[in-house]
Chains A and B, each alone.
Chain A
Amino acid sequence: MPFFVVKRDLPGVTPEALKSAGIRAKSCCAEMTGEGQPVRWVRSFYLPETAQTHCYFEAASKSAVEEANQRARIPFTQIVEVMEMTPEMV
């Protein structure tokens, strides 16, 4: 399944708010997967200098990732498909 990065601008966000968002993301992904629309939150990176997060999801489509984030009520600025690359792959 393709991977997607969800970019967010979250000025002033606290670590606690990020945890809360994570709880919501997990539950919404699980729910959508149970509904037959698989979405998996893989991991997230927080960039303190820019107050941005890059959250990686695995899903069949961009729209599924978008819906998961909307259901979880986590704001985002952009969702784009990414190509995975690891040191082992080069």
Chain B
Amino acid sequence: MKYTIPIDSHHSGSITLFKIVLEYMNDVDLATSFAIFAAKQRGAAQVTPDHILLGCLRAISRFGIASLGAWSLDLEALGIDWVRQPDGPRPKVAYSQDAVHLLDLAAQIAKSAGDAGVDVKHVLAAFAAEESGLMGELKNTYGITSASWRAAVSKLGAHETETIAGAGLDRAANEKKSAREYLTPEEASEALGIHVQTMRAYIRGGRVPAFRLAGERAIRILRRDLEKVLEPLEGEKKED
């Protein structure tokens, strides 16, 4: 999936226009995190395959739309609040036995595909034969078959490119950075052309969601969340 944001940045006294094509990497950790969130949001005691499917769709979505093959799946229609993080008390949830079987199957699919790790693609592929639950509903609603689902999933994570105009930045270095979904505060501030302290203030103020690595102090920012601090210019002529 490819997405372009124009960023007007006042940096070192000069105005620079960056066009950055953000690259997504499917991330099973993100999907499971969203799955747990979905379970909590629904007051469920267990994380079920339905929650995992929602988590996977959320992980590959943009602005609440998961584009998969010919289908644009609206997360709102599926009952997902794709903007807000959960508020208030966070109930404890555990994986259900069905969820365990699903993730086991995803790992087997990864192995059969010759992939070293389990990715969100493998988890989505594990739903191909599922006829019940949310997957069953999606199949009925969108006319999805096992084959068409697997075909669409196989195209996820296709190679994207990045273009950067202006500023004389080293293209190769930025391509390497743009391949990563999670950024350090320093990298995130560099991407927006702002001071790192400004980025940290955004994080403290909640303008940019940030995550702490489990049990560690290190902070990571989801690249796609950077656009949350961008506001369209109104009544001003945009530079090109």
B32 to chain A: closest CB distance in Å?
4
SS class, residues of chain B in contact with chain A: helix
B41 to chain A: closest CB distance in Å?
13
8 Å CB contact of B100 from A58, A70, A73: A73
Interface flag for A20 (CB, 8 Å): yes
**Number of residues of chain B lying within 8 A (CB) of chain A:** 28
B45 to chain A: closest CB distance in Å?
11
Interface readout for A56-89 with B: 1 if CB under 8 Å, 0 if not? 0011000000010011110000000000000000
B186 to chain A: closest CB distance in Å?
22
Q: B214, A23: Cβ atoms under 8 Å?
A: no
The residue on B at minimum CB distance from A41 is B214
> Given the complex, which residues of A lie within 8 Å of B90, measured CB to CB?
34-35
> Given the complex, which residues of A lie within 8 Å of B94, measured CB to CB?
28, 70-73
The residue on A at minimum CB distance from B92 is A71
| Partner-contacting stretch, out of B5-13, B63-71, B107-115 | B107-115
Q: How many A-B residue pairs have CB under 8 A?
A: 82
* CB contact under 8 A between A72 and B118, given known A26-B29, A27-B36: no
> Given the complex, which residues of A lie within 8 Å of B214, measured CB to CB?
26, 29-30, 33, 38-41
Q: A20, B107: Cβ atoms under 8 Å?
A: yes
Q: B215, A33: Cβ atoms under 8 Å?
A: yes
- Give CA–CA (A34, B100) in the complex, Å: 22
The residue on B at minimum CB distance from A72 is B95
Q: B111, A16: Cβ atoms under 8 Å?
A: yes
Q: B215, A23: Cβ atoms under 8 Å?
A: no
Interface readout for B190-216 with A: 1 if CB under 8 Å, 0 if not? 000000000000000000000010111
- Give CA–CA (A19, B103) in the complex, Å: 9
> Given the complex, which residues of A lie within 8 Å of B103, measured CB to CB?
20, 23-24
A41 to chain B: closest CB distance in Å?
8
Interface flag for B15 (CB, 8 Å): no
- Give CA–CA (A71, B95) in the complex, Å: 6
> Given the complex, which residues of B lie within 8 Å of A38, measured CB to CB?
214-215
B43 to chain A: closest CB distance in Å?
16
- Give CA–CA (A34, B94) in the complex, Å: 15
A19 to chain B: closest CB distance in Å?
4
